[in-house]
Structure 1
Amino acid sequence: MARTRNEHLAALLAEAGWSRAQAAAAFIRVAQESKLDDFTHIGRGHITMWVGGTMPSGQAPIVLCQALSRRLKRPITPEELGFSDPTPPTQSALDWHIDPLIVLPDLGRSDLNADRRSLLTGAVYSITALALPREDWWVEMASSQPLSPVDSRRVGRGDVAIVQDMTAAFSRVDQQRGGGHGRRALVEYLRTDVTSFLHGHFASEHVRREMYSAAGELSYLSGWMAFDNGDHALAQKYFTLAVKLAAQADDPPLSGHILRAMAHQAIDLGFHQQGLDLASASMEGQRYAAATPRERALLGVVYARSLAAIGKKRAAAKALLNAEDDLSSAGPGIQEPNRTFFFAEASLAHETACTLRECGDREGAVREFNRSVRTRKATTFRRTHLVTLGYLGAVQVAGGRVEEACATWSRALDAMEDGVYSGRARQAVIDIRRLLSPYRNRGVPAAARLSARATGYLSQVD
């Protein structure tokens, strides 16, 4: 069957003023920069075939987007090139070198489209993508010039405030209802309104950086909600996008905040060394030094947990003390960014408990989990509260305190049945059933009752 000529690609090559050979040369430059050796053989014959209707494989569409975006000084997406294949590229080192304004609309479109999203959510969390770029990348991103505006709107400080307010609102929903509720609305706002702002004419360079920071924080939140709901590969893509936006905004504390979240995800998934690498990066230079005390405490406690995960108990204990000192110095006179408004004693106690659990200090973990439960505003932070209860019950049952664990988990199920949509919450219920399995037939009525209740809950949400 005859292929249909790709008129979109032909028109863009003509606009760029490139011959097929020049287009191939530009393609190879991007591939070499991104260490994609498989694509350094591309020649003018390949470009001719693509114009003729052949679909390029793997990362090739993204490489070509990057080459044309540089030439035309505006973001070019695979869809604009006429490449309609819905299969998203796997995450690799190339992702760090693609302009975020190219990634943002395509990722959002894939996320919201049912057919394309099934491919995204079925993708594999990439360990290789956890390797961060070298230090010169951060410098280059902070000093990079944005692509030419494609939207006529003028973007001012008030527009930045709108995005920040929307981020705070979505964050409150996440804390109360979990990452499975409201994220599609967030993504739609990110890929439409926020993308339009990023393509506009900024009132000043300061406003541009502020808007990129605001967009980075919203992208981070989308990643965090996807992580909470168990969509790990999708979360990783949003985290990577958020880091790039924060880097272009020259906002080291926000970069550190996102790297800390990536470390948290890696540790939870069992990639402990990669988690430590990410947590260490979050503590480097201005990411830690320019952060507020409350932010530094959050970075520090996840760093402590990553140390504990690889068996460095003494270093973990020292990092915990530093995090406690940072949080104690967070006074009312210090203006905190919205992203860390929720990190207080309860959150510190939760992460401290996770660290002590990794160190094998079961009693210490129970003590700190209980402190977290006691000090958290459970109605405001319902999702995190029930996750803490799930972890607390698991530590209690590991110590043979089955009746206590059942009472703890019963409180967790109360919270879950009150409208929380979270993959982590669902996993907690699965763990309840698994951990109670040895006790159901041992004359422990509470275990049998709770196991039946957990089974009923899972039958409703599955």
Structure 2
Amino acid sequence: MPQARSGNAKLAAVITEAGMSHAEVARAFVRVAKESNAPEFAGVGRSHVSHWIAGSKPSGRAPMLLCEALSRKLGRVITLDEIGLPAPPLSSKDMLGWRVDTLAALTELGRVDVDAERRRVLSTAAYSLAALTLPSDRWWSQMAERGRARGAAGGRTVSRGDVDAVHDMMSLFSRVDQRRGGGHARSAVVQYLGSDVASFLYGRYADDILRRDMFTAASELSYLAGWMAFDNGEHNVAQHYFNIAVKLAAEADNPAMAGHVLRAMAHQAIDLGHRKRALNLASASVDGERYQAAAPRERALLGVVYARALAVNGETQKAARALLRAEDDLSAATGGDDEPGRVFFFGEASLAHETACALRDTGDLAGATTQFRRSVRTRKASTFTRTHAVTLGYMGAVQARQGEIEEACATWSRALDAMEGVRSGRTREVAAEMRAILSPYRRRIVRAVRDVDARAKSYLSTFA
């Protein structure tokens, strides 16, 4: 078939570019297969690769693993299209497996996320509870060993300037997210992560410190892609990026970064109502080196989400102690070069917001209102617009629960003002909650109720 001949010719051309014999390709493939815990490929040899080039097509996960083997040799991302092989059916179980090779999973996820139809399938797939079970302690040390082995790969030389560039892009995208919500610019984050950054990960490093810094930077960007998807209500997509971010942090041997991502996973699990699993994730985020190696500001962030997880599980006293420790950690934060840029957003306003949520979940509505007001008062709304809108929305809901409907409407009116131009699943949820709470009051002739309800309905229709 013409398609098969064309595809095999492409594969042969890439193998020639890599300067590899068929036997060398086979050995590289087997090495990747073993790392990916895929024993079904352990018997692959030169004849199999020769058959693929001659006309047959590898099946299942083999195409993705072959791309990974060639990418390592060439030091750039090799796609299935480039070697003329068909994409294997997407398996969320495979993608989320802790034994799947990190870079192979990143490449495949990037391919899926930029393909409109496959991304739709991924977006509508179920959030996996099984994937919230964390791997053993041994896995973390094995991943650190695997990361060190990558530094010997061929391909382009990665410089300190390349790491700085990734951090610059991370900072730019993070600020867009904070202001406009996860529905803006996520495709740009995904494309940058799957192209430039993925190529860096296949590169050659002067020393392991540089490699670890690049893998940490890539972990931060994968975390951001996940956070933006989470904020936009695409929970299965978010879970996949968080999973890769944890793996990249593990290969970077960076426990603080791993804790940062586990904290985000816990936050997502809390919002989705998976309380016990949220507590397991939050506990892991503050365990041992993940907390100890973190800067004070990041410790406060980990700690306040841990407090929220305790609160939703009814552990009121433990939650109170965790909140006090988070306040102490934030008080100890001084900023500067020793503080990672990924925590730039977390300050007094963020701490007050999360504290208010914890108090609300323990039934302390008065305390929650006080902390929400503190958050609104101390936040720079023009920079952190999305969270400002969410905070106001949550505060209005608490006021409504206390029977203060007119005050709630005034607060919600401010929230809707802040939502202008924001694309976020969480702001959409806030608007939907406004309408649900106001539903019993719609027949009353109350102008504030009518205005807020109409504006919330308009916002939902605009950003549906």
Same fold by TM-score, threshold 0.5 exceeded? Answer: yes
Cα shift at 1:361: 1.1
Counterpart residue number, 1:305: 308
2:104 to 102, 105, 111: 102
Q: Contact 2:222–2:245 at 8 Å: present in 1 too?
A: yes
Counterpart residue number, 2:276: 273
1:18–1:195 CA distance, 2 compared to 1 (3 A)? closer
Q: Contact 2:22–2:49 at 8 Å: present in 1 too?
A: no
1:30-429 → structure 2 map (5 Å cutoff): 33=37, 56=59, 83-85=85-87, 87-92=89-94, 95-144=97-146, 145-146=149-150, 149-152=153-156, 154-332=157-335, 335-417=338-420, 419-429=421-431
Cα shift at 1:326: 0.8
Letter in 1 for 2:307: A
1:185–1:28 CA distance, 2 compared to 1 (3 A)? closer
Letter in 2 for 1:329: A
Cα shift at 1:357: 1.2
Q: How many residues align?
A: 453
Letter in 2 for 1:90: S
Letter in 1 for 2:374: R
Letter in 1 for 2:444: R
- In structure 1, runs of 5+ residues without a counterpart are none
Secondary structure at the aligned position of 1:420 is classed as coil
Cα shift at 1:233: 0.8
Q: Contact 1:77–1:103 at 8 Å: present in 2 too?
A: no
Letter in 2 for 1:430: A
Q: Deviations over 1:18-67 (max 9, x none)?
A: 999x9999899668x47x9xx799999x999999757745x676577779
Q: Deviations over 1:288-324 (max 9, x none)?
A: 0011111000000000111111111111111111111
Q: CA RMSD in A?
A: 3.4
Cα shift at 1:459: 2.3
Q: Deviations over 1:229-251 (max 9, x none)?
A: 11111111111111111111111
The more displaced of 442-451 and 129-138 is 442-451
1:398–1:86 CA distance, 2 compared to 1 (3 A)? farther
Q: Take 1:237 and 1:47, find their aligned partners in 2: how far apart are those partners?
A: 30
Q: Contact 1:30–1:66 at 8 Å: present in 2 too?
A: no
Q: Contact 1:432–1:451 at 8 Å: present in 2 too?
A: yes
The more displaced of 421-430 and 91-100 is 91-100
Q: Contact 2:219–2:249 at 8 Å: present in 1 too?
A: yes
Percent identity over the alignment is: 54
Q: Contact 2:308–2:354 at 8 Å: present in 1 too?
A: yes
Letter in 2 for 1:99: D
- TM-score normalised by length of structure 1: 0.87
Cα shift at 1:150: 4.7
Q: Deviations over 1:422-457 (max 9, x none)?
A: 111112111111111011113433112211121122
Q: Deviations over 1:366-413 (max 9, x none)?
A: 111111111100001001100111111111111211111101110111
1:89–1:68 CA distance, 2 compared to 1 (3 A)? farther
Secondary structure at the aligned position of 1:319 is classed as helix
Letter in 1 for 2:194: R
The more displaced of 234-243 and 95-104 is 95-104
Cα shift at 1:72: 11
1:211–1:30 CA distance, 2 compared to 1 (3 A)? closer
Q: Contact 2:65–2:104 at 8 Å: present in 1 too?
A: no
Q: Deviations over 1:202-256 (max 9, x none)?
A: 1222111111111111111111111111111111111111111111111111111
1:17 to 20, 23, 33: 23
Letter in 1 for 2:347: A
Letter in 2 for 1:160: V
Cα shift at 1:71: 11
Letter in 1 for 2:447: P
Q: Take 1:49 and 1:433, find their aligned partners in 2: how far apart are those partners?
A: 62
Cα shift at 1:113: 1.9
2:443 to 417, 441, 444: 441
Q: Take 1:231 and 1:176, find their aligned partners in 2: how far apart are those partners?
A: 19
Cα shift at 1:17: 3.1
Q: Take 2:95 and 2:185, find their aligned partners in 1: how far apart are those partners?
A: 30
1:451 to 434, 450, 453: 453
1:93–1:99 CA distance, 2 compared to 1 (3 A)? closer
Q: Contact 1:260–1:299 at 8 Å: present in 2 too?
A: yes
Cα shift at 1:148: 5.3
The more displaced of 324-333 and 65-74 is 65-74
1:297–1:48 CA distance, 2 compared to 1 (3 A)? same
Letter in 1 for 2:23: G
Secondary structure at the aligned position of 1:180 is classed as coil
Letter in 2 for 1:251: N
Q: Take 2:25 and 2:293, find their aligned partners in 1: how far apart are those partners?
A: 48
1:146–1:181 CA distance, 2 compared to 1 (3 A)? same
Q: Take 1:454 and 1:94, find their aligned partners in 2: how far apart are those partners?
A: 36
Q: Take 2:95 and 2:195, find their aligned partners in 1: how far apart are those partners?
A: 27
- In structure 2, runs of 5+ residues without a counterpart are none
1:150–1:104 CA distance, 2 compared to 1 (3 A)? farther
